[in-house]
Amino acid sequence: MNTSVFEHYESEVRSYCRHFPTVFTKAKGANFFDEDGRKYIDFFCGAGAVNYGHNNPVIKKKLIEYLESDGVMHALDMYTVPKREFIETFEEKILKPRGLNYKIQFPGPTGTNANEAALKLARKVKKRRNVFALMGAFHGMTLGSMALTTDKASRRGAGVDLNNVTFIPAPYMFPELDTVAYMQRLLTDDHSGIEKPAALFIETIQAEGGIRVFDADWLRAVRKFCDDNDILLVVDDVQVGCCRSGTFFSFERAGIQPDIVTMSKSIGGYGLPLAITLIKPELDVWSPGEHNGTFRGNQLAFVAAKGGLEYMLENKVEEQVVRKGEIIRTYIEKEILPLDSRLELRGLGMIWGIEFENIPVKGLADKVIEKCFEYGLIIEGAGRKNSVVKLMPPLVIDEAELLEGLAIIKKSVEDNLAAL
C-alpha cells in the first residue's frame, strides 16, 4: 500500500487519512474498498455528504446522461436548465409541502460559504455587527464562520482575532440555567456590556459539539426570543439536514421557521459540491453581485441534487431514518451501554454519539475508532476532547449491514475496556 506520495508531497493539514491509513479505490452504497480489495462499512458518510449512499445508481444514471448530452458544466449564476429544475423541485416538493417560503441563494459550494452569506446578510439587514452563537458550535473554517465556531483547534488556525460574536452557553452545559432568559438579560441589562446581535446562529443538533440534540421546547423558546427582540434566527442545517434527523429539515420537530437556513453536504445529492442559503423573501436585500463566487451553482451538482430529492421522496427516506434510528438506539442501549455504566448515548434519527468522557482514560474514543478501522468500519469522533464516537451511516444502509457495523463498535469497545 503506497502512501509515500501523499506523505511526501501533501500538506501536513491532512486529517482523516491519518485515522484511516489505507488507499481507497471504490465506494458503493455503504461500503468503501481499498487497493488490497478489503471492504469497509461506512459510518462516516463523507461527514454527512453522501446520505443517499456512495454512487447511488439512480442519481448516477442522471449524471451520466447529463454528461453525455454535453450539458453546461460551468455557468456562474447564469440561467440554466439544471438550476431551473432544481429550484422547481426544491420549491414544489420540499418547501411548499412544509409551508415554508424562502428564496434560494447559491453561494460558494461548501457549508462555510453558506454560513458566510448568512452572516453577511444578517448584518446587512439589521445594521448590527454582533451575533450570538452557542458554545459547542461548529459553523465552518473560513474567518466569518470560524468566528462562530468555538473549539480551540479550529480557532487557533485563524491567525487573526475572531470578533463580533457573543457566545452563549448551550442549554446542556448548565441545566440549571435558563439560557433564553440569560440572553434576554444580556439585552436588557445596561451593564451587560453586550451589543445587541443581528442574529442568533444555532445548530438544532450540535454534531461536532458531541451530538447534542436541542429540545423542541427550547427551540420554540429561542424562536420567540428572536421575534420579541428583532433578531434573526439562523439554523445551520449543513450536516444534520437532508433527512439526517428524521425529517428533511432538522428544525421541523419544533414546528418553527428560521429566518435563514444554511445547507450543503448531502444537498448535492451525490457527494458533489453544492450549498444553499435559504432566505425569507423580505430579507433578500442583496445588491446584484454583492456576494458571489466563481463556483456558486455547480451545474452537475444541480442535476445530482434534483435526483437526490426525487430519490429521497420516492424511497421514503425520512421513514427509513426513523426506523433505522430506532435500531441504532436499541442496539446501543442493550448491547454497548451495559459494557460500562459510565458510557452515555445521545442522538436522533441517524446521527448518534457514544460519550466516553466519564471514563478517565486519555484518548479512549480515539482508540475505539482505531480498533473499528482494524475490524473494517470507518467512523469518526466528535465533541470535547474528541471523546465521542460519532455514528453517521448512509441513510439508505441495509439493515443487516447496519447491525454488522454496530457489532464492530461493540467489539471495539469491549477490546478497549478489557485493556484498561
Predicted local confidence at residue 338, as pLDDT = 98
Each residue of 48-87: pLDDT tens digit?
999 999 999 999 999 999 999 999 999 999 999 999 999 9
Residue 195: is it exposed, middle or buried by C-beta count within 10 angstroms (0-12/13-18/19+)?
middle
Classified as helix, coil or strand, 242 is coil
- 416 sits in which H/E element: helix 399-418
Query: Each residue of 342-392: pLDDT tens digit?
Result: 999 999 999 999 999 999 999 999 999 999 999 999 999 999 999 999 999
Residue by residue, DSSP assigns 52-75 as T-BT-HHHHHHHHHHHHTT-----
What is the residue extent of each domain of the chain?
Answer: 60-314, 316-345
What the block records as the C-alpha cell of 77 is 449564476
The whole-model pTM stands at: 0.97
pLDDT in tens, 270-286: 999 999 999 999 999 99
Q: Round to whole Å and give the CA distance between 74 and 67.
A: 12
**297: pLDDT strictly greater than 90:** no
- Strands 388-391 and 276-279 come out as unpaired
Angstrom distance (rounded) from CA 11 to CA 13: 5
pLDDT score recorded for residue 28: 98
Give the model confidence (pLDDT) of 163-206 as tens digits.
999 999 999 999 999 999 999 999 999 999 999 999 999 999 99
The yes/no answer on whether domain 60-314 falls in CATH 3.40.640.10 is yes
* Mean pLDDT on 124-148: 98
pLDDT score, position 406: 98
pLDDT class of 1 with cuts at 50, 70, 90:
confident
